[in-house]
C-alpha cells in the first residue's frame, strides 16, 4: 500500500524549505514557519496539541508552538520530515489513518497561498485514500456546523448528513479542503441550497 500521508509530508517539507519561513499560508495569521511548527508540535507534543480540541489547554499549546517556531527554521523542517516512532498521531500503525488528509490539506495551505498555483493532479490511489478519510471526517465537520448536505465525488461515492437539498461535489481532495474550512480555495461545485454550504462555519 502506498504511504500517501508520508509522501505528502515530504512534499510539504520540500515546499516549506523552498518557500522559506515568512511566506503566507491559507491558515489565517500563520506563516510557513508557523505551519511547520504546528505540525512538529502535533507529532511530538500531545500535551500541547490537545489544546486544538480542549479550549482550556489552548494557551499552553500556543506557547509550545511559538517556542518551536522560534527555533532555526531548517531544524524545524528536519523534525517535520522525521516524526518519532512513538508519535500518537504519526506512528507507523496510525500514520495513514490520521495524516492523509492532514498533510494533503496543509500542503495545499502552503501551495495555494502563493501568487500562482494550479490544482495538482493526484493519482487514483491517493484520491481513494482521501475519500475514505473524508467520508468519516466530513460527516463530523457538517454535524459540528449543523449543516445538512449531500457530498458527492464522481467515481468514489457519496454520503448525506441530514435532510437538505444542499449538494457539495468535486474530487476528494477538493472536498477535503472545503470541509476543513478552505472554502475559497477549494475547486468544488455547490448546488441546491448552496448558500447553507457557502455560509457554513466549517473546519476540523
Portion of the chain with pLDDT greater than 70, in percent: 94
Mean pLDDT to the nearest integer, 1-12: 90
Judgement on whether residues 141 and 89 belong to the same structural domain of the protein: no
Res 57: pLDDT: 66
pTM score: 0.93
Res 54: pLDDT: 63
Give the H or E element holding residue 159: strand 157-161
Portion of the chain with pLDDT greater than 90, in percent: 75
Q: Indicate the SS3 state at residue 109.
A: helix
Whether residue 159 lies inside any domain: the answer is yes
Judgement on whether residues 11 and 100 belong to the same structural domain of the protein: yes
- Write out the residue range of the structural domain in which residue 133 sits: 124-198
Judgement on whether residues 79 and 152 belong to the same structural domain of the protein: no
Whether residue 204 lies inside any domain: the answer is no
The distance of Cα 162 from the centroid of its chain, to the nearest Å, equals 24
The residues with which 23 forms a beta bridge, in sequence order, are none
Res 52: pLDDT: 65
Q: pLDDT-based confidence at 53, cuts 50/70/90?
A: low
Judgement on whether residues 32 and 63 belong to the same structural domain of the protein: yes
Q: How far is it, in rounded angstroms, from Cα 74 to Cα 90? A: 20
Whether residue 34 lies inside any domain: the answer is yes
Indicate whether 58 pLDDT > 80.
no
Whether residue 203 lies inside any domain: the answer is no
Res 177: pLDDT: 96
Asked if 72 and 45 touch (Cβ cutoff 8 Å), the reply is: no
Judgement on whether residues 79 and 24 belong to the same structural domain of the protein: yes
Q: pLDDT-based confidence at 199, cuts 50/70/90?
A: confident
Judgement on whether residues 46 and 131 belong to the same structural domain of the protein: no
Judgement on whether residues 85 and 159 belong to the same structural domain of the protein: no
Mean pLDDT to the nearest integer, 36-63: 81
| Nearest one of 196, 94, 200, 98 to 141, comparing CA atoms | 200
Given 56, 90, 112, the domain boundary residue is 112
Indicate whether 163 pLDDT > 60.
yes
Q: How far is it, in rounded angstroms, from Cα 28 to Cα 45? A: 22
List, in order, residues 6 or more apart from 65 with CB less than 8 Å away: 34, 37, 38, 41, 48
Grid cell listed for 183: 472554502
Amino acid at each position: 500500500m502506498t504511504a500517501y500521508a508520508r509522501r505528502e509530508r515530504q512534499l510539504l517539507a520540500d515546499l516549506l524549505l523552498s518557500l522559506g519561513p515568512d511566506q503566507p499560508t491559507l491558515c489565517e495569521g500563520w506563516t510557513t514557519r508557523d505551519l511547520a511548527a504546528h505540525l512538529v508540535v502535533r507529532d511530538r507534543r500531545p500535551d500541547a496539541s490537545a489544546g486544538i480540541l480542549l479550549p482550556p489547554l489552548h494557551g499552553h499549546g500556543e506557547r509550545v508552538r511559538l517556542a518551536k517556531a522560534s527555533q532555526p527554521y531548517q531544524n524545524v523542517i528536519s523534525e517535520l520530515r522525521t516524526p518519532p516512532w512513538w508519535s500518537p498521531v504519526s506512528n507507523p500503525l496510525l500514520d495513514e489513518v490520521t495524516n492523509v488528509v492532514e498533510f494533503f490539506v496543509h500542503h495545499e495551505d502552503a501551495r495555494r497561498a502563493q501568487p500562482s498555483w494550479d490544482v495538482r493532479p493526484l493519482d487514483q490511489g491517493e484520491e481513494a485514500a482521501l475519500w475514505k478519510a473524508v467520508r468519516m471526517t466530513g460527516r463530523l465537520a457538517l454535524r459540528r456546523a449543523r449543516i445538512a448536505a449531500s457530498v458527492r465525488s464522481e467515481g468514489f461515492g457519496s454520503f448525506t448528513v441530514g435532510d437538505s437539498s444542499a449538494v457539495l461535489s468535486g474530487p476528494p481532495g477538493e472536498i477535503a479542503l472545503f470541509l476543513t474550512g478552505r472554502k475559497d480555495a477549494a475547486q468544488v461545485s455547490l448546488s441546491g441550497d448552496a448558500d447553507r454550504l457557502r455560509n457554513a462555519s466549517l473546519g476540523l
